[in-house]
A and B are shown apart, each in its own frame.
Chain A
Amino acid sequence: MISSKRFVALALFFPVFCLAVLAFYRSSIRLVGKEITLNITGYDPRDLLSGNYLIYTIDYQIPDLCSGNVSEEHPIFVCPEDRQSYMEPPSTCSLIIKGRCQSGRFIAGVERFYIPEEHAIHLEKLVLNKRGSVVLSVSRSGKAQVKELLIEGQSWHQFLKSQTSK
Chain B
Amino acid sequence: MKNLNKLIREWQDRGLITSDQVHNILDYENKKPKASWFMYGIITLGVSVVGLGLVSLIAANWHQISDGVKLGGAFVLLSIISIMSYKTHGSGKLLIYDSLVLGLQAASLATIGLIAQIYHSGGRLEQAILFWSLICLPSVLTTNFMFSPFIWVGGLTGSLLFFLGDMVIKPPQFVPLLAPLISAIITLSAKRLGASDGFLKASHAWLLVSVMCGLLACEAFGARPLSDPTGLSNFSQVFYFLSILILVFIWSNKSYVPLQKSLLTALVIIYAFSSQLKVPALKGEILFATLTLLQLGLIGAFFASEKARRRFNFILILMGLRFFGLFIQALQGLALTGFGLILSGALLIALATIWQKHRSKISLWAERITQ
A residues in contact (CB < 8 Å) with B: 1-3, 5, 7-16, 18-20, 22-23, 26-27, 30, 52-53, 107, 109-114, 116, 145-146
Contacts and interface: CB of A to CB of B under 8 A. Distances in A.
B85 A1 contact: no
A7 B123 contact: no
A114 B86 contact: no
13 contacts: A7-B138, A8-B89, A9-B86, A11-B142, A14-B139, A16-B78, A19-B78, A19-B115, A20-B75, A30-B119, A52-B117, A107-B122, A114-B117
A8 B86 contact: yes
B139 A11 contact: yes
Nearest to B193: A2
A51 B135 CA distance: 26
**B interface SS class:** helix
Contacts of B195: 1-2
User: Interface centre among A9, A107, A111, by most B CB within 10 Å?
Assistant: A9
B91 to A, nearest CB: 12
A135 to B, nearest CB: 11
B262 to A, nearest CB: 31
Question: Which of B115, B119, B123 gathers the greatest number of chain A CB atoms within 10 Å?
Answer: B119
A17 B79 CA distance: 10
A26 B139 CA distance: 25
A113 B116 CA distance: 10
Given A12-B86, A12-B104, A15-B136, A2 B141 contact: yes
B82 interface: yes
Nearest to A145: B119
A107 B195 CA distance: 40
B230 interface: no
Nearest to B115: A23
A114 to B, nearest CB: 5
Interface residues of B, number: 40
A112 B139 contact: no
Given A2-B142, A7-B138, A7-B142, A16 B119 contact: no
A30 B108 CA distance: 22
A1 B146 CA distance: 12
Given A1-B143, A12-B89, 18 more contacts: A1-B144, A1-B197, A2-B194, A3-B90, A10-B138, A12-B85, A12-B86, A15-B78, A15-B108, A15-B135, A19-B112, A22-B112, A22-B115, A23-B115, A26-B118, A27-B119, A53-B120, A109-B121
Contacts of A2: 141-142, 194-196
